[in-house]
């Protein structure tokens, strides 16, 4: 059906004219004005007032945050300058700290030190067995088969060592003191002290060797992972 | 008359909804920080104290 603008115009005019009697009543006019007021306030509230106030509050917050950040940055710069002074003070000692807590497992130096300590203390080193350790300081938590015993912290790793020595009480005590005084951080996690049975062990006439004791130590040594 | 009251109620609810929405949006703006995460990481406080006594103790220990 073709569009006839004359008839359509007449139709819409009739609609508008039909609204006139409705708006003539007071209550309808009041309702209409109130309803449109609410809608207008809502509309302008959302599209005009909200973005404006939001921008104001955002800028205020930004000023507060930047002031705080500026202060924190200044504090940090002061702390870094202070730290640099401390660092220069301890810089000559840093290789010693690296020896105490090396950046990789470094099992061989520990073994050598324990062997040398045994010689110095005058005890007989009968067995020294490190648990299989990673050659480099990779994170053992990534490898389930890694034998490293425990993860002390996210960066600090450790592995176990088992040491058996024989000697007199005095020498064993000297050996233990040596371990405590060793620069490489090593802790004693277990210790078994027993008398050494003589050559005829197993026979009914087996005797205890005079003053000779056997000490089995479980040690744990540490290193850092970057 | 009935229609007018319904429309009034709808407009009032719309007004309150928009008011609440705007309020919460503004509260969110006030509460949300404008500092980037990287900046927050940079300004983490640093304790400048280095335990020199411990370092000296380590240095005084022996290497066999």
B41 Cβ contact partners less than 8 Å away, ≥ 6 residues apart: none
Cβ-defined contact of B63 to A182 (cutoff 8 Å): yes
A85 lies in the same domain as A133: no
Q: What is the mean pLDDT of residues A192-202?
A: 72
Write the ipTM: 0.82
Handedness of CA B47, B52, B54, B55 (dihedral sign): positive
Q: Which helix (H) or strand (E) holds A190?
A: strand A186-197
Residue where a domain terminates, one of A93, A109, A132: A93
Kindly state whether residues A87 and A121 are assigned to the same domain. Answer: no
What three-state secondary structure class fits A25? coil
Query: At A207, is the pLDDT very low, low, confident or very high (cuts 50, 70, 90)?
Result: low
Q: Are residues A195 and A107 in the same domain?
A: yes
- Nearest residue in chain A measured CA to CA from B56: A93
Q: How far apart are CA A41 and CA A36, in angstroms?
A: 8
> Domains in chain B: how many in total?
1
Average pLDDT, integer, range B5-33: 94
Measured between CA atoms, the residue of chain B closest to residue A67 is B35
Q: How many angstroms away from the CA of B37 is the closest CA of chain A?
A: 12
Tell me how far apart the alpha carbons of residues A30 and A64 are, in angstroms, rounded to a whole number: 47
* Burial per residue of A194-213, b for 16 or more beta-carbon CB atoms within 10 angstroms, e otherwise: eebeeeeeeeeeeeeeeebb
Burial grade of A21 (CB within 10 A; 0-12, 13-18, 19 or more) = exposed
Instruction: Give the CATH number, domain containing residue A120.
Output: 3.30.70.60
Q: What is the mean pLDDT of residues A24-36?
A: 86
Phi-psi region of A211 (alpha: psi -120 to 50; beta: other; left: phi over 0): left
CA B9, CA B4: separation in Å to the nearest integer?
A: 9
Residue of B nearest to A40 (CA): B15
Q: What tens digit of pLDDT does each residue of A64-74 get?
A: 999 999 999 99
Q: Which of A27, A28, A35 best tests the B interface by mutation, with the highest count of B CBs <10 A? A: A35
Residues A14 and A42 in one domain: yes
Beta-sheet strand order (sheet of A124-130) = A124-130, A156-167, A208-224, A186-197
| pTM reported for the whole predicted model | 0.59
- Which of A23, A69, A88, A98 would best serve as a mutation to test chain B binding (most B beta carbons within 10 A)? A69
From A220, A165, A164, select the one nearest A188 (Cα to Cα). A220
Structural domain harbouring A125: 101-224
Phi/psi at A187 (nearest 5 deg)?
-115, 150
What's the rounded Cα separation, in Å, for the pair A101 and A173?
25
A62 and A123 together in one domain: no
A97 pLDDT higher than 50: yes
Last residue of a domain, one of A93, A121, A145: A93
Q: Tell which of A30, A72, A111 to mutate to test the B interface (max B CBs under 10 Å).
A: A72
- Candidates B7, B30, B43; nearest CB to A57: B30
**pLDDT computed for residue A149 by the predictor:** 45
Q: Is B11 on the interface with A (CB under 8 A)?
A: yes
Q: Which domain holds residue B45?
A: 2-60
Pair of tokens at residue A5 = 């603008």
How far apart, in whole angstroms, are the C-alpha atoms of residue A215 and residue A170? 12
**Each residue's pLDDT tens digit, A138-161:** 555 544 444 444 444 458 888 899
Inter-chain contact B11–A34, Cβ cutoff 8 Å? yes
Cα distance between residue A224 and residue A176, in whole Å = 24
CB-based contact, B9 to chain A, within 8 Å: no
Closest CB to A183: pick one of B34, B44, B58: B58
| Residues A113, B63: C-beta atoms closer than 8 Å | yes
Nearest to A82 among B26, B43, B48 (CB): B48
My answer on whether A180 and A217 are in the same domain is: yes
Which of A35, A63, A93 finishes a domain? Answer: A93
Q: Does B36 touch chain A (CB under 8 A)?
A: no
Q: Does B59 touch chain A (CB under 8 A)?
A: yes
Partner-chain contact B34 A178, CB within 8 Å: no
């Amino acid at each position: 059906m073709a569009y006839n603008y004359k008839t359509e115009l007449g139709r819409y005019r009739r609609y508008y004219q039909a609204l006139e009697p409705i708006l003539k009543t007071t209550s309808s006019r009041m309702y209409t004005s109130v309803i449109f007021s609410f809608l207008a306030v809502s509309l302008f509230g959302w599209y005009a007032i909200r973005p404006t106030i939001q921008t104001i509050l955002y800028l205020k917050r930004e000023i507060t945050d930047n002031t705080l950040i500026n202060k924190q940055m200044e504090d940090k710069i002061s702390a870094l300058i202070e730290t640099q002074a401390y660092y220069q003070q301890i810089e000559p000692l840093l290789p010693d700290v690296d020896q105490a807590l090396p950046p990789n497992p470094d099992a061989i130096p520990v073994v050598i030190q324990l062997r040398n300590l045994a010689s110095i203390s005058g005890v007989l080193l009968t067995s020294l067995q490190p648990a299989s350790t990673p050659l480099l300081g990779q994170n053992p938590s990534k490898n389930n088969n890694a034998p490293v015993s425990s993860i002390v912290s996210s960066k600090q790793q450790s592995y176990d060592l088992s040491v058996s020595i024989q000697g007199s009480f005095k020498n064993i005590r000297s050996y233990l003191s040596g371990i405590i005084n060793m620069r490489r951080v090593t802790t004693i996690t277990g210790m078994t002290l027993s008398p050494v049975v003589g050559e005829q062990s197993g026979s009914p006439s087996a005797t205890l060797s005079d003053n000779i004791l056997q000490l089995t130590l479980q040690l744990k040594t540490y290193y850092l992972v970057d | 008359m009935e229609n007018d009251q319904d429309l009034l109620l709808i407009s009032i609810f719309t007004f309150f909804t928009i008011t609440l929405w705007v309020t919460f949006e503004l509260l969110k703006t006030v509460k949300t920080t404008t500092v980037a995460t990287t900046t927050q990481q940079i300004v983490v406080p640093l304790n400048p104290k280095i335990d020199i006594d411990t370092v000296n103790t380590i240095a005084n220990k022996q290497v066999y």
